[in-house]
Amino acid sequence: MKPVSESIGPAASDSADAGASQTVKTQLRLREMILAGELPSGERIAELAVVERLGVSRTPIRAALVRLEQEGLLQALPNGGFAVRTFSERDVSDAIELRGTVEGLAARLAAERGVPPAVLSQASRCLSAIDEVLARGALDDEAFLRYVTVNQEFHNRLSEMAGSATVQRELERVVSLPFASPSAFVVLQANSPQARDMLVVAQDQHRQVLQAIEQREGSRAEAIMREHSRIARRNLGEALHEHNVDSMPGARLIHPRR
């Protein structure tokens, strides 16, 4: 009996790969449209209109819509089809809290299971790069964007340290929720007088959790990461209070005080 790949044949395999690639591209473009407010929240998405706009067939459109529903950006309608979701301030806060919980689990597992020195060194280099950013007396937009990039890299390393494909997959799912990523509200605080102070506190927590992981202190590592997420929740509150969130992609999806 031939292997499945042989029975399918190279042409069919190439076709499947092309279809998967088109679905991913469609998914990314649809996500951009949603966050930019080009697809109104609460209204049923007209598939034919999207097909005409993106110039692709209905098959990748439908597959992309299902994936975006799994991400939490869309909701399935009772009579079929999908609509763009809206989020309350509580929804966003809960997503951040969930991210802190899963990251805490990742940190605890990393501490309990142990992490190779090379991986710890990679994480440490990320923190050194953040130190360089924070060493400046004043942080401009470029510095904040640099912080966002390296901060995301550190959190990615933390996810990998758990050594669990299950935890890493769930964490990827959580951070894909609107506004739940580790740096979602950082840039919005660029002009705040307290912005640099908050980043300094966050960086101290980065150092503490890495130390806890190195010293195999699982409970401590978990508690630090859960506390770490509270900075993002505070940033959310300040952004909404200062009406600063309008400059952020996807802001139209948030309805404060719901």
Q: Which domains does the chain have, with CATH numbers?
A: 4-85 (1.10.10.10), 88-255 (1.20.120.530)
Instruction: Locate 258 and state its tokens.
Output: 């719901």
pLDDT digits (tens, 9 = 90+) for 41-89: 888 899 999 999 999 999 999 999 998 887 778 899 998 899 998 888 7
Each residue's pLDDT tens digit, 190-232? 556 677 888 899 999 999 999 999 999 999 999 999 999 988 8
Question: pTM of the prediction?
Answer: 0.70
Contact assessment for residue 189 and residue 195, using Cβ atoms and an 8 Å cutoff: yes
Q: What are phi and psi of 93, to 5 degrees?
A: -60, -40
Taking the C-alpha atoms of residue 250 and residue 180, their distance in angstroms, rounded to an integer, is: 12
How would DSSP label each residue in 15-79?
A: HHHHHHHHHHHHHHHHHHHHHTTSS-BTSBP-HHHHHHHHT--HHHHHHHHHHHHHHTSEEE-TT
